Amino acid sequence: MHMTMPRVLQLAVTLLTAAFLIVPAIQSVLAGLTVNYFRGISSGLTLKWLGQVWELYAGSIALSMWLAVTCLAVTLVIGVPAAYALAKSPGRMSRVLEEFISLPLAVPGLALALALLQLYGSMQGFRTSWLFILVGHVLYTLPFMVRSVLAVLMAMDLRSLEESAATLGASSWTRFRTVVVPNAMPGILAGALTVVTLSIGEFNLTWMLHTPYLKTLPVGLADSYASMRLEIASAYTLVFFVMIVPLLMAMQWATDRAQRITR
């Protein structure tokens, strides 16, 4: 690479930015594995903190995983058929509906949570169940699923494919099952990974919707940041990284793949 002055500057900015993003993450990983963070690595490495995190927060981690899986199931059931219907009806009403369900992308989670709380807060059975948090997660992740699938459906020649399946004798449901869904798979996969990744990391809505008995992983994180020693908070953050980073990478891989189709 030929190094000119502007290029050196660009590289410097890039490297500094990368350092800004990665250094605290590394610190956190190290802190979670160090016997005493204030004395430094020299105090030795340990898995003690991770063990304590497990004791304290195993329930939160399990709840987050359960929420992510159910959230994925719900967004699949609602989102994939909806994306298909939106792709089939290119009218103004569809665009308005698409815009409307995308509101949670623009409107802060805090505001949505307040809205949900005020309408359903008095329904005790619902308010205190995990389903209430699930609703928040679905609300927030659904637009990602719909848009991801919709983009792939719009990029392929859906009309001809469906028409040819119809001339071959396939009913609406058969066409949806055998032609639409398999060909939308890259979009569904990208959407699914996005939904799971975002659900596991969701905090804004969850913090408002959760109850003391239903703490998700990020809620537990906030809790540990406020009340635990730094090593435990770090170890817990490390657990979160271990869960989220592979998901994030898979999500980016799948999104890139889906976007290559839509281009």
Binder to other proteins among 57, 218, 231, 254 (CB under 8 A)? 218
Residue from 50, 61, 192, 202 in contact with other proteins (CB under 8 A):
202
Quick one: which of 20, 30, 22, 23 has its CA closest to 237? 30
Asked if residue 186 lies in contact with residue 257, where contact means CB atoms within 8 angstroms, the answer is: yes
The residue (of 67 and 138) whose beta carbon lies closer to other proteins is: 138
Of the pair 57, 240, the CB lying nearest other proteins is at 240
Least distance between other proteins and beta carbon 58 (Å):
19
CA angle 116, 188, 181 (to 5 degrees): 115
Least Å from the CB of residue 54 to other proteins:
18
Alpha carbon distance 25, 71 (integer Å) = 28
Taking CB under 8 A as the rule, does residue 212 contact other proteins? Answer: no
Tokens 């199931």 belong to: 73
- Compute the CA torsion angle 219, 222, 224, 230 (nearest 10 deg): 150
Q: How many residues bind other proteins (CB under 8 A)?
A: 107
Residue type, 12: A
Residue of 53, 71, 192, 244 that binds other proteins (CB under 8 A): 244
Q: Which 140-199 positions form the footprint of other proteins (CB under 8 A)?
A: 142, 144, 146-147, 156-157, 160-161, 163-174, 176, 178-179, 182-183, 185, 194, 197-198
Query: Which residues ranging from 16 to 75 are in contact with other proteins (CB under 8 A)?
Result: 17-18, 20-25, 27-28, 31, 37-38
Give the integer Cα–Cα distance in Å for 79 and 62. Answer: 25
